[in-house]
Amino acid sequence: MNILDGGEGGGQLVRTALALSAVTGEPFRMRHVRRARANPGLQAQHCAAIEAVAAVCNAETGGVEVGSESFTFEPNEDIDEDADPADQGVLGGSVSVEVGTAGSVPLVFDALLPVAVALDESFTARLEGGTDAKWAPPFDYFRRVKLPVLQEHGLDADVTLNRRGFYPRGGGKATLTVEPSTLDAFDVTERGERESLTAYSVAEESESEDDVAERQAEPAPDAADVETEYVEADCSGSALVLAAEYEHSTAGFAELGEMGVEPETVGENAVERFEAFEDGDAAVDEYLADQLLPFVALAGGEVRAPEVTSHVETCIDLLAEFGYDVTVEDEGDTVLLSA
């Protein structure tokens, strides 16, 4: 059993380890889970991710409860560890999981997407929790930025939003369907000319009285298309995603509305990060860079990122534990991630 140390990172290490274990058939035990965080140990969304990935590959788990700083994950023992990952025999099927309160639904989906390379049949996950939650990418970032990039590289997956769920009450519902997929090698080193820019602004329906969705999108550049929406949800909340599509890549800049923060400020923060990105030469934004790493490791290729974040560093170390080598080449104002 692979013994992993989760003390230097957060939930990303849990999600990535789950996906790689399902793909390779290699069991693991993770110790010191999220030890450096203010609330160490597994939280509800991490337990939900473990439950969902375990359902894909018929895994046995131990120590999975909120607050636990150590857990084990053992995929179906019938998987041939010497076989090619695409022939591992991960089952597929379906699962329904309540993430709990506003635990992030998109982050649980993140743990499932890489398993596509090893599926025998389609897999459907129906989740309930936070679609737009703190410390996680909003649903529209997952749907409008990350998923399209992966689909362009061979991932056969689709997502449906059934109901929004904002922090802190959640109650959102979404469904992810993943088909057996063969990924293409990544070549995301140049972004090319910008082809479109869209501001997706959403707010709970009671906030329409204050024009929250429109005010969030107001700071968007003149070139941006604006899509605003008011939705039913269990509590008030809002989110803005500024999605930029280029000739060869996509980047996103997301902000959540917060109590005491003017909607215009939410939009200004997203625009500020978008403008900083356009002033550089990276092909993807910093958050997408670390989320693409497991796929680059599995499929090979290169991605140009703005910088090496702590998430990138810890993810590269974890990938090495499963035998995947990702290198980082500093190229001045950007870094090249290669496998």
Lowest mean pLDDT, pick from 6-15, 64-73, 147-156, 176-185 = 6-15
- Classify residue 266 as exposed, middle or buried by CB count within 10 Å of its CB (0-12, 13-18, 19+): buried
What does the mean pLDDT of the chain come to?
93
Question: So what's the pLDDT on residue 36?
Answer: 84
Q: Domains in the chain, ordered, with CATH?
A: 2-133+160-180 (3.65.10.20), 194-279 (3.30.360.20)
Average pLDDT value for residue range 51-63: 94
Average pLDDT value for residue range 313-321: 94
Lowest mean pLDDT, pick from 64-78, 121-135, 253-267, 273-287 = 64-78
Taking the whole predicted model, whether its pTM rises above 0.85 is answered as: yes
Residue 89: band (very low, low, confident or very high) from pLDDT cuts 50, 70, 90: low
Alpha carbon distance 39, 50 (integer Å): 18
Going from the C-alpha of 70 to that of each of 3, 30, 240, 282, 333, the distances in angstroms are 10, 5, 35, 37, 38
Is position 46 annotated as part of the catalytic site?
no
Instruction: Please say if the pLDDT value at position 86 is more than 50.
Output: no
Identify the active-site residue in 32, 46, 248, 311.
311
Instruction: Please say if the pLDDT value at position 131 is more than 90.
Output: yes
pLDDT digits (tens, 9 = 90+) for 299-316: 999 999 999 888 899 999
Question: Which residue ranges are tagged as binding site for ATP?
Answer: 110, 287-291
Q: Which residues pair with 132 in a beta bridge?
A: 166
What DSSP designation does 258 have?
Answer: -
Going from the C-alpha of 47 to that of each of 11, 51, 140, 170, 321, the distances in angstroms are 10, 6, 23, 16, 22
DSSP string computed for 150-215 = HHHTT--EEEEEEE--BTTTB-EEEEEEE----PPPEEES---SEEEEEEEEEEEGGGGGGTHHHH
Residue 102: band (very low, low, confident or very high) from pLDDT cuts 50, 70, 90: confident
Question: Which residue ranges are tagged as binding site?
Answer: 110, 287-291
pLDDT digits (tens, 9 = 90+) for 211-264: 999 999 999 999 999 999 999 999 999 999 999 999 999 999 999 999 899 999
Alpha carbon distance 311, 331 (integer Å): 19
